[in-house]
Amino acid sequence: MTTLEQNLEKLETYLTHVREHGILNQIGDEARPAMSGATFDNQSPVDESFICKVAKSGAEDIDAAAKAAKEAFPAWRDIDPVSRKKILHRIADRIVARADEIALAECWDTGQAHRFMSKAALRGAENFRFFADKAPSARDGQVLPSATLMNVTTRVPIGPVGVITPWNTPFMLSTWKIAPALAAGCTVVHKPAEFSPVTARILMDIAEEAGLPAGVWNLVNGFGEDAGKALTEHPDIKAIAFVGESRTGSMIMKQGADTLKRVHFELGGKNPVVVFDDADLDRALDAAIFMIYSLNGERCTSSSRLLVQENIAEEFQKKLVERVNRIKVGHPLDPSTEIGPLIHKTHLDKVTSYFDIAKADGATIAAGGEAVEGKGHFVKPTLFTGAKPSMRIAQEEIFGPVLTAITFKDEDEALEIANGVDYGLTGYVWTNDLTRALRFTNKLEAGMIWVNSENVRHLPTPFGGVKASGIGRDGGDWSFEFYMEQKHVGFATGQHHIPQLGK
Point out the catalytic residue in the list 101, 194, 266, 338: 266
Interface stretch with ligand NAD, choices 66-74, 225-233, 312-320, 412-420 (CB under 6 A): 225-233
* Residue 300 designated active-site: yes
**Contact residue for ligand NAD among 158, 181, 241, 243 (CB under 6 A):** 243
Q: Is 70 left (phi over 0), alpha (psi -120 to 50) or beta?
A: alpha
Interface stretch with ligand NAD, choices 10-18, 241-249, 363-371, 404-412 (CB under 6 A): 241-249
Q: Is 282 in the site for ligand NAD (CB under 6 A)?
A: no
As measured in angstroms, the least distance from the Cβ of 240 to ligand NAD is: 8
The type of residue at 81 is P
As measured in angstroms, the least distance from the Cβ of 329 to ligand NAD is: 21
The type of residue at 298 is E
Q: Is 244 in the site for ligand NAD (CB under 6 A)?
A: yes
Q: Is 269 in the site for ligand NAD (CB under 6 A)?
A: yes
Nearer of residues 249 and 376 to ligand NAD, judged by Cβ: 249
What is the Rg, in whole angstroms, of the alpha carbon atoms belonging to the chain? 24
Interface stretch with ligand NAD, choices 50-58, 103-111, 260-268, 384-392 (CB under 6 A): 260-268
**Contact residue for ligand NAD among 191, 234, 238, 344 (CB under 6 A):** 191
CB 111 within 8 A of CB 341: yes
CB 151 within 8 A of CB 144: yes
Residue with smallest beta-carbon separation from ligand NAD: 224
Residues 434, 452: Cα–Cα separation, whole Å = 11
* Residue 52 designated active-site: no
Point out the catalytic residue in the list 52, 107, 186, 300: 300
Angle (CA) 331 112 303, round 5°? 125
CA distances from 51 to 45, 95, 106, 384 (A): 10, 22, 12, 35
Q: Among 338, 320, 319, 318, which residue's Cα sits nearest to residue 328?
A: 338
CB 491 within 8 A of CB 150: yes
**Contact residue for ligand NAD among 33, 228, 340, 386 (CB under 6 A):** 228
Q: Among 137, 237, 233, which residue's Cα sits nearest to residue 180?
A: 137
Q: Is 117 in the site for ligand NAD (CB under 6 A)?
A: no
CB 193 within 8 A of CB 227: no
Nearer of residues 350 and 436 to ligand NAD, judged by Cβ: 350
Q: Is 300 in the site for ligand NAD (CB under 6 A)?
A: yes
Residues 209, 227: Cα–Cα separation, whole Å = 26
**How many residues sit close enough to ligand NAD to count as binding (CB under 6 A)?**
33
Q: Is 166 in the site for ligand NAD (CB under 6 A)?
A: yes
Tell me the β-bridge partners of 319: none
Q: Is 157 in the site for ligand NAD (CB under 6 A)?
A: no
Q: What share of the chain is helix, strand, coil (3-state, %, to 5)?
A: 45, 20, 35
Q: Is 342 in the site for ligand NAD (CB under 6 A)?
A: no
Q: Among 122, 117, 463, which residue's Cα sits nearest to residue 294?
A: 117
Q: At what angle do helices 198-209 and 81-97 cross, to 10 degrees?
A: 130
As measured in angstroms, the least distance from the Cβ of 173 to ligand NAD is: 6
Residues 55, 204: Cα–Cα separation, whole Å = 15
Q: Is 225 in the site for ligand NAD (CB under 6 A)?
A: yes
Interface stretch with ligand NAD, choices 80-88, 92-100, 179-187, 267-275 (CB under 6 A): 267-275
Reduce the DSSP state of residue 174 to 3 states and report it.
Answer: helix
**Contact residue for ligand NAD among 55, 252, 329, 405 (CB under 6 A):** 252
β-pairing, 402-408 vs 382-385, is: parallel
β-pairing, 272-275 vs 426-430, is: parallel
Interface stretch with ligand NAD, choices 97-105, 126-134, 164-172, 404-412 (CB under 6 A): 164-172
Reduce the DSSP state of residue 351 to 3 states and report it.
Answer: helix
Interface mask toward ligand NAD for 411-450; x: CB under 6 A: --------------x-------------------------
Catalytic residues, which ones? 266, 300
Residue ranges that bind ligand NAD, judged by CB under 6 A: 164-168, 173, 191, 193-194, 223-225, 228-229, 232, 243-245, 248, 251-252, 255, 266-269, 300, 397, 399, 425, 465, 469-470
